[in-house]
Amino acid sequence: MTAVVDYNAGNVFSVLCALERLGEKAEVTSDRERILSADRVIFPGVGYAMSAMEELEKRGLADVLTSVKRPFLGICLGMQLMCSFSEEGNTGMLSIVDADVRRFDPSICPKIPHIGWNTAYDLKGPLFEGIKDGSYFFFDHSYYVPLLGSATSAVTSYYGFGYTSALERDNFFGVQFHPEKSGKAGSILLENFLNMEI
């Protein structure tokens, strides 16, 4: 069973539709035991980091998510919440990955948010098996995760400025783009995640 975390900040419907197209029936839940016993966990997110963290704390989910031992995928805001701090509301977050989330500098990236199709390159790790370097994915965000060395599993460039568009640490994976809205490449990525065994 795939658990999709319910915390009032997720792009849940499109994620569920993408999973259904792949033949996967998922359960949307905020129940601690259902999340921890799931075969895999998807942590979607759209919205404001501070509000999202407040909702996670209110539902008692912060400690639950950091305790997941099975494959875990954070999407968009979900990936950012896996980091330790965000400039969006000066918010402390889950600290699954030691990284600060920063706002794009308008002097470097004059169009904020970064919305639309863009490429991901320097792809590595099991999420990207069968996906060509330079494949296009759909993005919608104003904040980004800097390059993290070995924890960065994909890089995207915006106005020539490179940032982490996918990361991994042990059983935890994150993508800044929306695979559920990213056509064939996104579908392959989700299928790779569903087939993971950790």
User: Active-site positions?
Assistant: 76, 178, 180
Are the C-beta atoms of 55 and 7 separated by less than 8 Å? yes
CA distances from 180 to 22, 76, 117, 186, 189 (A): 11, 11, 13, 6, 9
Phi, psi of 109, deg, nearest 5: -120, 85
d(CA 42, CA 72): 6
Question: Among 33, 19, 82, which residue's Cα sits nearest to residue 53?
Answer: 82
Q: Quick one: tokens of 69?
A: 């031992």
Question: Among 103, 87, 111, which residue's Cα sits nearest to residue 159?
Answer: 111
Going edge to edge, which strands form the sheet with 40-43?
Answer: 26-29, 2-5, 40-43, 72-75, 172-175, 161-169, 152-158
